[in-house]
Amino acid sequence: MVLFRIDPNWQLPERAATSESAFLNRRQFLRAIGAAGLTIAAAPLLGCQATAKAPGVAATLEESLDLPPVRGFNTNPNFTEAGLDRPLTDRLLAGQYNNFYEYGGTKSIWPKAQNLVTNPWTLTVGGLAKNPAIYDQDELIRKFPLEERIYRFRCVEAWSMAVPWLGFPMRLILEAAEPLPEAKYVRFVSYYDPDVTPGPNVFSGFYPWPYTEALRLDEMANDLAFFAVGIYGRVLPKQHGAPIRAVIPWKYGFKGAKSIVKIEFTAEQPPTFWNTVQANEYGFESNVDPKVPHPRWSQSRERFIGTGPDLSWEMRETLPYNGYGEYVASLYS
């Protein structure tokens, strides 16, 4: 019998507020010392070698985002900046305001996420499929024609952003894999290694690692369901779920598993991470719906973040299906 329950920080409005003030303090601190250069220069003097990063591991936010540009992608005319009802979120903010529980229970996980090794990477596609396959990192970027899609992104915590993803529709993996007739669901498994992805400090063992998510196959086949391998014109940064993550823009953000190592076709609905932790708060379907409150807060409005590099936001009405009803409502009628 479970006598107590540990809530992740991000579920709690009051503790979310705490982590935001921590975030602001960190930015003020970085500004005060003129970014990390001084930290590195000072380290030998202070003898604090322990904080030094391994060679090749990004030590500053800018470095962590300074990745090769993705070339030769198409712009999807349905999802351009011009057609969006809001500005794009600033890339420096999107890159430091993350949810990635493998690296801790706050928004400021980008430094820890740099420890992930994304090359080599192996993505296995299997389960109930005619053509199981294994993709390495290069194949993920080269095998499928890449598109840019600017999507609204809505977290279940009632904040949102708008970012230009680079990637390909999930449908292309579906067509390549040819699931067997008995396959009804697809499951995504995120990278997990307790040495690299220790989780929040306290009671990490409580969580049902690895992080997994799942969709119905007809949801996966919808044109909007997307695998992102890049963002803001460049290869995906680790904090955003490199080298490949799921983006399902009409659902709450937690449905989009990051740093995927396995895509598996199943006959039964698979258990998923947050749904296992707290089913009544994180439903399997979790389509964005302003009329269905989270048990602990309203979902009718959202904090749209990042109209500048600092953590500023404006309040917006939340849209049914996050504004994508014309593409997806028929899946649920």
Ligand X SMILES: Nc1nc2c(c(=O)[nH]1)N[C@H]1C(S)=C(S)[C@@H](COP(=O)(O)O)O[C@H]1N2
Binding site for ligand X (CB under 6 A): 98-102, 155, 190, 211, 240-241, 253-254, 256-259
Q: Are 146 and 73 in contact (CB under 8 A)?
A: yes
Nearer to ligand X, 128 or 185 (CB): 185
Q: How far is the CB of 192 from Mo ion (least distance, A)?
A: 18
The site map against Mo ion for 243-262 (x = CB under 5 A) is ----------xx--------
Nearer to ligand X, 176 or 281 (CB): 281
Residue nearest to ligand X (CB): 253
Nearer to ligand X, 176 or 297 (CB): 297
> Token pair for residue 320?
């049914």
| Cα–Cα dist 217/265, whole Å | 8
Q: Are 213 and 256 in contact (CB under 8 A)?
A: yes
Nearer to ligand X, 102 or 289 (CB): 102
Q: How far is the CB of 21 from Mo ion (least distance, A)?
A: 19
114 binds, among Mo ion, ligand X, none (CB under 5 to 8 A by kind): none
| Cα–Cα dist 231/221, whole Å | 22
Q: How far is the CB of 241 from ligand X (least distance, A)?
A: 6
Nearer to ligand X, 66 or 175 (CB): 66
Phi-psi domain of 154 (left: phi exceeds 0; alpha: psi -120 through 50; beta: other): beta
Nearer to ligand X, 146 or 242 (CB): 242
Q: How far is the CB of 4 from Mo ion (least distance, A)?
A: 23
Q: How far is the CB of 240 from ligand X (least distance, A)?
A: 4
Nearer to ligand X, 70 or 128 (CB): 70
The site map against Mo ion for 66-105 (x = CB under 5 A) is ---------------------------------x------
100 binds, among ligand X, Mo ion, none (CB under 5 to 8 A by kind): ligand X
Amino acid in position 234: R
| Cα–Cα dist 56/35, whole Å | 18
98 binds, among Mo ion, ligand X, none (CB under 5 to 8 A by kind): ligand X
256 binds, among ligand X, Mo ion, none (CB under 5 to 8 A by kind): ligand X
Alpha helices in the chain (DSSP H): 13-32, 37-46, 61-65, 91-94, 110-113, 137-142, 170-177, 217-221, 273-277, 325-328
| Cα–Cα dist 173/129, whole Å | 11
Q: How many CB atoms lie within 10 A of CB 197?
A: 23
Q: How far is the CB of 151 from Mo ion (least distance, A)?
A: 14
Segment 152-191, which members bind Mo ion (CB under 5 A)?
155
DSSP 182: T
| Cα–Cα dist 133/155, whole Å | 31
Q: Residue 290 burial by CB count (10 A; 0-12/13-18/19+): exposed, middle or buried?
A: middle
Q: How far is the CB of 127 from ligand X (least distance, A)?
A: 19
Nearer to ligand X, 114 or 190 (CB): 190
Q: Look at residues 113, 144, 102, 137 and name the one whose alpha carbon lies nearest to residue 123.
A: 137
Q: Which residues bind Mo ion (CB under 5 A)?
A: 99, 155, 253-254
